[in-house]
Structure 1
Amino acid sequence: MNAGAGTTGCPSAWYVAFFDGERPHWWWRLCKPGFRHVAAFGYCAEQAVWLLYDVTLKRTFIHVLTSEQMDQWVAELPGNRTIVHMPARDTPPVRRVGFWCTPAVAHLLGAPSRALRPEGLYRDLMALGARPAFSSEPS
């Protein structure tokens, strides 16, 4: 099933959270602080729940959360987080290289991004019309 705008039961927009992950990894040296991990969440109005999509080294997590649980998850993110709001897109599939947080979230959003790191995805999403949400833009 397509996760695009107008699809029954799917978010009409996604929030994309950029932040530092649970523990340092060797590739953190390659990433800008605050942009070492990315996850996405969206509200399903018909079911009155939030979907949280988080691809980690351990596995891919898809959580169904209440509004209170979602508020708690956002509140527990590191202070140097950046969250943007991105309308859902109905776009043709784009080839992806790899399956880690950055290409996985780009695929979920239907974003034509070839970014390999979260900061590259952030730049691509902003160019596609994403807007800051829950926090200010990074400097």
Structure 2
Amino acid sequence: MTGIVTAVVLASALVLIVGIGGSMGARSALRMTARASLVLFLSAFTASALHRLRPMPLSRWLMRNRRYLGVAFAGSHLVHALAIGASIRADADAFYASQQPSGYMLNGIGYAFILAMAATSFRAPARMIGTTAWRWLHWVGGYYI
């Protein structure tokens, strides 16, 4: 599932970047990947609360697939990072003019959380850091993102 979702997001971003072209295509890919990432993140982040609030087939499915939705979010956000690179390459001056300097650090911390959370979504790395650290990482990272 995660590979398919990431491949679809990547293909969609490439269609926008190549099809529209230039900075407009890169900006369109940025918006699309941000929206795809938002849907995937919110699906994983709210699964537990939704299931507690209203147990139903959808909430059970979200709970069973929360890990895969989170990893798909990380894949989608990796494609988002590539779209950022395409946007910089297409029109660096316009890209940097639209950014706040404080955003570089805050976004970098967000990407570090995404990477750490994706890496520890698999059994072996999760066991290596331990249950307490895993819970802390995913709780703080989820709320930071």
Does the pair score TM above 0.5?
no
Compare CA radii of gyration and give the structure with the larger one: 2
Q: Where is the helix percentage greater, Structure 1 or Structure 2?
A: 2
